Amino acid sequence: MGESGYLGDQPRMGFFTDTSVCIGCKACEVACKEWNGVPEAGGLDLLGMSYDNTGALGSNTWRHVAFIEQPVPSTKDVPARDVVALGMPAVGAPAPDEEPGVRWLMSSDVCKHCTHAACLDVCPTGALFRTEFDTVVVQQDICNGCGYCVPACPYGVIEKRKSDGRAFKCTLCYDRLGAGLEPACAKACPTDSIQFGELDELRERAAERVTTLHDSGVAEARLYGHDPNDGVGGDGAFFLLLDEPEVYGLPPDPVVTTRDLPAMWKRAAATAAGVAAAVAVSFLGRRR
């Protein structure tokens, strides 16, 4: 068994989400709900948060498209970094000689399918398991609704569904993968912002994309979740961002929340052994 818990010869599969070409169409959200039978979170509620009507990832939102508005100055003062790879103004930037406007940063968020998945560590029933594709899935027929996985996730992805109390999240369309199909969200994405494939190949492709953007003047382009040496051992779903992770609602330095469990159990065992020894010594002393 490898460091990630991977059990088979199947290459690790995952997502690369290139936010620089996301247009915020929400086709991924719709496709995810339709294929997986995910219920509406609350209809078409207006949350007062730009054009975002879903708010965040949760039990009823396995893909969430965030809309982040950023003010931009007049185009006379717009630096080269606000020009995308195709040589066009950044989304929402004013046309030449126009007044200051708004730049849109859009990103389709999803479960990260962590290499070191804390949700797996804390699940007492085995409802959470790692598949042959090295993705993390919840088996609803085994989940008892304990909710231990909810606070364990460093990204706040998993949520218990109020209607039945069980935990739900993205499965990376496990049923589709078994049939040789790509996940519904990637299939529906019209700009290839969401790319699915072998994780090693996606990482190479993402590195090339960042280089292309940097060469085109988009200096702020960076990858998030691709590093196998980060606090969760790298993500099975990683991103190309055009700003700091916090701008997109992502933790800058995610850490697997169960990393200290082995040391804690060792200390607990040592303490228990010490107490047992003290009780034994006390009991034997009294007998004498």
Asked if residue 139 belongs to a known ligand binding site, the reply is no
Interatomic CA distance for residues 72 and 122, integer angstroms: 45
Asked if residue 189 belongs to a known ligand binding site, the reply is yes
Interatomic CA distance for residues 196 and 182, integer angstroms: 7
C-beta atoms surrounding 145 within 10 Å = 12
Asked if residue 123 belongs to a known ligand binding site, the reply is yes
Asked if residue 125 belongs to a known ligand binding site, the reply is no
Interatomic CA distance for residues 153 and 12, integer angstroms: 21
Asked if residue 239 belongs to a known ligand binding site, the reply is no
Asked if residue 153 belongs to a known ligand binding site, the reply is yes
Helix, coil or strand: residue 54: coil
Asked if residue 173 belongs to a known ligand binding site, the reply is yes
Q: How far is CA 187 from CA 38, 71, 176, 179, in A?
A: 17, 32, 11, 14
Asked if residue 25 belongs to a known ligand binding site, the reply is yes
Asked if residue 248 belongs to a known ligand binding site, the reply is no
Of 246, 271, 266, which Cα lies nearest the Cα of 68?
Answer: 246
Asked if residue 90 belongs to a known ligand binding site, the reply is no
In the block, tokens 């630096």 appear at 79
Beta strand residue intervals within the chain, DSSP E? 13-18, 63-72, 101-110, 128-130, 136-138, 159-160, 167-168, 194-198, 222-224, 237-241
Asked if residue 149 belongs to a known ligand binding site, the reply is yes
Asked if residue 210 belongs to a known ligand binding site, the reply is no
Asked if residue 132 belongs to a known ligand binding site, the reply is no
Asked if residue 207 belongs to a known ligand binding site, the reply is no
CB proximity list for 200: less than 8 A, separation 6 or greater: 11, 12
Q: For residue 142, which phi and psi values (nearest 5 degrees)?
A: -110, -25
Binding residues for [4Fe-4S] cluster: 22, 25, 28, 32, 111, 114, 119, 123, 143, 146, 149, 153, 170, 173, 185, 189
Binding residues: 22, 25, 28, 32, 111, 114, 119, 123, 143, 146, 149, 153, 170, 173, 185, 189
